[in-house]
Amino acid sequence: MQLGWRSRVVGAIGSLLLLSGAFATVKAGEPAEQMQQTLDALVRIFEDTALSSPDRAQERREKIQQVLSKRFAYEAMAKRSLGRHWDELTSAQQQAFIPLFSSLLEQMHTQRIEKYGGKKKSVVFKNESLKKDNMATVTIEIADPNDPTINEDVEYRLQKHGDTWLVHDLLIDGGSMITNFRTQFDRVIRQESYDELVRRLKQSSISTEKAN
C-alpha cells in the first residue's frame, strides 16, 4: 500500500514494540500497569526463537494480533480513521473495514520487527495522567541503549472499558496516528473511491503475507 505516512508511523510504532524489558522503576497506576502487561507479552513473542522460523510466521503473527486486540480499541480507531466517511458506509461495509484496519496496524509492527532483526531497545516510563470521563494518557520514551540520542516519545491515549484500559490513539513525537490515517484515507476516498481504499488495504495485507 503506497501511502506517504506509512514509513514514519511504522518506524515509530515498531520501535515501541521492540523492548528488552519493562518500564523503568517508576510507580505506575492501572493504565500504565496494563500497558506494561501488553508490552511484556509482545516481548515474550519476539524473544521466542522457535517462532522465528519461516514455517511458523503465521503463528507468530496471530499471537501478536491476539495481544494487540486485547489492548487496542480497533473498532473505535477504525471509525475515527475514516471520519465522516464512516457514516456513509453500510453496516456490512463498516464491519468489513475493521479487520482491514486492524491488519494494517499489525503489519506495521511485524514489518518493523523484521527490519530491526530483534535488536534490543529500552523504554522509560515518563508519566501517567488520569483525565475525566475515564480517560488517561501514558507516556513513555523509547531510546536506543547504544545511542541515547536516538529516542522518541510515545503517548498512549486510553479509555476505560469496565476494568480494561484500551488504546484509542497513539501520539508519536506529538503526532496523532489516527489523524495521520484519517488524512490519508480521506484523500484516497475523495480523489478515487472508498472501494479503492479497500483494494489498497487488501493488497497491502496480501503483500505482507507473501513476504512472511
Is 16 a member of any domain?
yes
Q: What is the rounded distance in angstroms from the CA atom of residue 199 to the CA atom of residue 204? A: 9
Is 145 a member of any domain?
yes
Q: Is this prediction's pTM over 0.85?
A: no
Q: Number of structural domains, the chain?
A: 1
User: Is residue 51 within 8 Å of 150, Cβ to Cβ?
Assistant: no
pLDDT digits (tens, 9 = 90+) for 117-126: 444 566 677 8
Is 148 in a helix, a strand, or coil? strand
pLDDT digits (tens, 9 = 90+) for 184-198: 999 999 999 999 999
| Segments forming the whole domain that contains residue 203 | 6-211
Angle (CA) 113 114 119, round 5°? 60
Is 58 a member of any domain?
yes
**List of the chain residues with pLDDT < 50:** 5, 10-27, 113-119, 207, 210-211
- What CATH number does the domain containing 173 carry? 3.10.450.710
Is 1 a member of any domain?
no
